[in-house]
Amino acid sequence: MNTSDLEGPHDQMAEAPASSKINWPKELFEWLKTAGIAFVIVLALHLFVFNLSTVEGHSMEPTLRDKEWLFVNKVVYKARSPKAGDVIIIKDPLDVRMGLSKPELLVKRVVGVPGDQIEIYNKKLYRNGQLVNEPYIDTVIEGHDYGPHIVEKGSYFVLGDNRHAQASKDSRVFGTVPEALIQGKADFIVWPLNQMTML
């Protein structure tokens, strides 16, 4: 065995092929491209599919409480119309009528759909002459009687779940809500975690 036999393999290992070097500019570009695509997808989902909305105030108690986060489904009403019992996010009709560029967003419950006759009588809610079972409220409807009112085509009658006197600005104040002002359906509470539940 001669010295050239011993040195040959060591010489070959000492020379790293140039192709194994990392091309940092190319790697950075690929990472930025991936991050950009992900950002666009998330943004599109946020704009057209869902978003998170924060409850502000007490008009939906006891169902929803101040500062809870809601998962809002923005595409469900592409497939079907809102129905009684849905918890929805709407643009404040009063703000819209005043021409505000950023109307306040409100969370309310649909209690009447187009064609329904809504009446509040003797502190209770009636739809089409029938007493509505509302397991989500914790009090009778305080305040004045209302109606009867026939919900117009393309509009919805909404109430807050908090039925204490003057606790909720809803259809008793601003009338029925045109479907165009409905931003989506609140599907469930996502935060805080101990309150996570379907609506």
CB 115 within 8 A of CB 99: no
The rounded distance, in Å, linking the Cα atoms of 118 and 115 is: 9
The answer to whether 59 is a known catalytic residue is yes
The Cα angle at residue 83 between residues 125 and 79, in degrees rounded to 5: 175
The rounded distance, in Å, linking the Cα atoms of 156 and 93 is: 12
CB 51 within 8 A of CB 105: no
53, 108, 155, 171: the catalytic one is 108
59, 155, 168, 171: the catalytic one is 59
Distance (Å) of CA 111 to CA 102, 108, 160, 192: 26, 9, 10, 27
**For tokens 């021409």, what's the residue?**
99
Catalytic residues: 59, 108
